Amino acid sequence: VPRIERLFEVAHVARVAERLQRDRLHDRQRVLHAVVELANTHSLLASVAWGEIDLRRVLESEFAPYQLDGRTRVQTSGDHVRIKPAAALALSMSVHELLTNASKYGALSTPDGFVQVAWRVVARARSRRLRLAWSEHGGPRVAPPTRLGFGSRLITEGLPLELDAEVELDYAPEGVNCTIEFPLAAAIAPP
Amino acid sequence: VNDGAHARCVLVLEDSMALAMLLKEALPRYGYSVLLAARVGKGVILARTEAIDAAILDINIAGERVYPVAAELARRGIPFVFASGYGSGAIDRAYARYEVVLKPYGIKGLAEKLAQLLER
């Protein structure tokens, strides 16, 4: 796929998102953030020539804004694993949505709350799969949303579509949990 | 604005998760429900089994050409257009009579194109 097409993805998403925003279907700030987020991941992937990338690197670029002043609001633990560009794009957008939600309503909306993100490679039925678990702690009591927003649908519908992922998103009262598992070979080709 | 009760079903082959999910969000406002596929294999299954009124097929889907989906739709007589970005290359001559919408197309333009397809 020619490099220029990758730039077109950002332009195209920006154009469609802008229309949604004008139709007042979406919060202006969130739509803008999602586009900037996509562009950031594109630039991270460009730095590895759109090859495989270390998952930790993708995640840490997301978490950086929450790790200021020597505090670790997002605790990470996981294997060293390289993922395909399509997986990096899909995961970074999903994690971005989880982070945004956590900082508005969840564990990151309070001074003492924190998030644990753990991942490992699991072998199942001859395929290597990545299993990533997100769990929020110490935040306010969670009430399940009455209606799933675009961010939640991106995770629960977008990831199965794009990465053949199995996803559980649980609004448990003590904190949101999300597990995402997908075959590492699923994102066969570039996005 | 359509209430969705009589929405026409559009199959969208698109491997950008962000774009696919935004289209699924936007098209119902124009009276279309959306079925998504991000891989050619899944697209072929949907094209073969689902009640689809029209389709938009990105020519390159995750490194594969979308023609097997086009073939299935053509067999069933379901109208469709291709979508193509800069540098996607030419359309196979077998499909020269089908229209191509250029990326980055807008939602309104796409909705109008779909309306045209359904009028024919």
| Among the partner residues B26, B103, B105, nearest to A20 by beta-carbon distance | B26
User: Is the pLDDT reported for residue A22 higher than 90?
Assistant: no
CB contact under 8 A, B25 and A191: no
DSSP chain B: ---STTPEEEEEE---HHHHHHHHHHGGGGTEEEEEESSHHHHHHHHHHS--SEEEEESEETTEESHHHHHHHHHHT--EEEEE-TT--PPPGGGTTS-EEESS--HHHHHHHHHHHHH-
Calculate what percentage of chain B has a pLDDT beyond 70.
92
Structure confidence by residue, pLDDT tens digits, A57-87: 999 999 998 988 888 999 999 989 999 999 9
The structure tokens 């924190």 sit at A114
pLDDT band at residue B55 using 50, 70 and 90 as cut-offs: very high
Does B49 lie at the interface with A, CB-CB under 8 angstroms? no
- B48 CB-side CA count, 13 A: 8
What's the pLDDT score for residue A6? 73
Cα-based distances in Å from A120 to A17, A54, A99? 34, 13, 20
In chain B, which residue's Cα lies nearest the Cα of A97?
B18
Closest partner CB to A13 (pick from B15, B19, B87): B19
- Supply the ipTM of this predicted assembly: 0.83
Give the predicted TM-score (pTM) of the model. Answer: 0.87
Q: Which residues of A touch B16 (CB under 8 A)?
A: 9, 12-13, 191
More confident position, B87 or B24: B24
Residue B5 has what pLDDT? 57
Test the B interface: residue of A4, A5, A157 with most B CBs within 10 Å:
A5
Residues A119-173: tens digit of each pLDDT = 999 998 788 999 999 999 999 999 888 777 888 999 999 999 999 999 999 999 9
Averaged confidence pLDDT in chain A: 88
Which chain A residues have a beta carbon less than 8 Å from that of B59?
none
In this structure, how many other beta carbons lie within 10 angstroms of the beta carbon of residue B27? 22
Q: Which is higher by pLDDT, A189 or B71? A: B71
